[in-house]
Amino acid sequence: MSETSPAPEPAIRFACLLSDRAALAVSGPEAAHFLNNLLTAEIEALAVGVGVPAALLTPQGKIIADMLVFNASDDEPLYLIDVAAGLAEDLARRLMLYRLRSAVTIDRLGPEVGIAVIAGPPAPEGEAHYRFDDPRDAAMGARLIGPRAELAALIPADQATDEAAYHAARISRGLPECGKDFLAQSAFPHEVNLDQLGGVAFRKGCYIGQEVVSRMEHRGTARTRTMIVEMLNGFNVMGGAECRAGDRVLGIGGECAGARGLVPMRIDRLAEALAAGEAIALGGVPVRVIRPDYARFPVDMG
């Protein structure tokens, strides 16, 4: 009788600390209700140990900051917010302004608290850190929030990757981030596919900017969507480059990782360009446009 071969170890896609992310903690008896009334996602129904993408909007419906919100509650309510480091101070300040008499505490956690990402092998459990699956895409593995030094020690040297590997995976999966793929207060949630990723609750009560977002949803007026572009010559393109098809400007690209990038683009103009057989280029570099796997919005790719 032959012995059964052991299952192969999962391939490491990335394992690193993210230097460009920061954490906020919102705690207190009214934490869930407080966040639910401000953010686009459904927070009050979020189970312990689970996360959701979300955003804080202007009254006009533009994204001030996008984030991942995790329910880390134990004996007391606790929500951890994973946000771009460059937006963390402003987000904390805005949350404080809205707090008024709510029974919540808002803390901008210091640089000694880090955020690590691991995809491939199972992310380690531990008493010193929180572990959450990435709520946007199972292929993006787990996020760990805890003391930076201890998180670094959890990643064996022979498994560690640089942050570029994480961003290459994120971009290939079509997951935009504010500050990298679009600017703060420049985009509606639909334009960066937040509604497609479960980050907009259309059946809950009012939140800031809800009227504009709901109108866009129910009238089907979102003409801009974020698409993946793949450089056909393998070149990398600087962020901020125009994506064009002939005389048509489709959108402005974000940062690229490897040979791919994300572009919030006019999908009506994209369909016209593809129907006309026009070449599409980002910063003058020919590209292939790819719709993210999770996308439910219609676009005629020819």
Question: Does 148 share its domain with 275?
Answer: no
| Burial classification of residue 90, based on how many CB atoms lie within 10 Å of its CB (0-12 exposed, 13-18 middle, 19 or more buried) | middle
Question: Does 157 share its domain with 23?
Answer: yes
% of the chain with per-residue pLDDT over 90 = 83
Question: Does 18 share its domain with 156?
Answer: yes
Question: Does 148 share its domain with 213?
Answer: no
Angle CA 3–8–10, to nearest 5: 160
Identify whether 302 is part of a domain: no
Per-residue pLDDT at 294: 96
Angle CA 207–210–215, to nearest 5: 165
Question: Does 142 share its domain with 33?
Answer: yes
The number of distinct structural domains making up the chain is 2
Identify whether 175 is part of a domain: no
Identify whether 264 is part of a domain: yes
Tokens at 9, concatenated: 């170890």
Tell me which of 146, 161, 176 is where a domain ends: 161
Average pLDDT, the chain: 93
Identify whether 5 is part of a domain: no
CATH number at residue 205: 2.40.30.160
pLDDT tens track for 56-102: 999 999 999 999 999 999 999 999 999 999 999 999 999 999 998 89
Question: Does 269 share its domain with 153?
Answer: no
Question: Does 59 share its domain with 147?
Answer: yes
Question: Does 101 share its domain with 211?
Answer: no
Question: Does 121 share its domain with 231?
Answer: no
Question: Does 131 share its domain with 209?
Answer: no
How confident is the model over 115-131, as a mean pLDDT?
Answer: 88
Tokens at 104, concatenated: 């919540």
pLDDT tens track for 191-203: 999 999 999 999 9
Radius of gyration for the alpha carbons in the chain, expressed in angstroms and rounded: 20
Going by pLDDT thresholds of 50, 70 and 90, the confidence category of residue 7 is: very low
Tell me which of 125, 143, 161 is where a domain ends: 161
Which residues constitute the domain of residue 141? 14-161
Identify whether 177 is part of a domain: no
Tokens at 72, concatenated: 């880390």
Tell me which of 161, 179, 208 is where a domain ends: 161
Question: Does 274 share its domain with 139?
Answer: no
Residue 280 has pLDDT above 90, yes or no: yes
Identify whether 6 is part of a domain: no
CA 119 to CA 142: how far, in whole Å?
6
Residue 123 has pLDDT above 80, yes or no: no
Reduced to 3 states (helix: H, G, I; strand: E, B; else coil), residue 228 is: strand
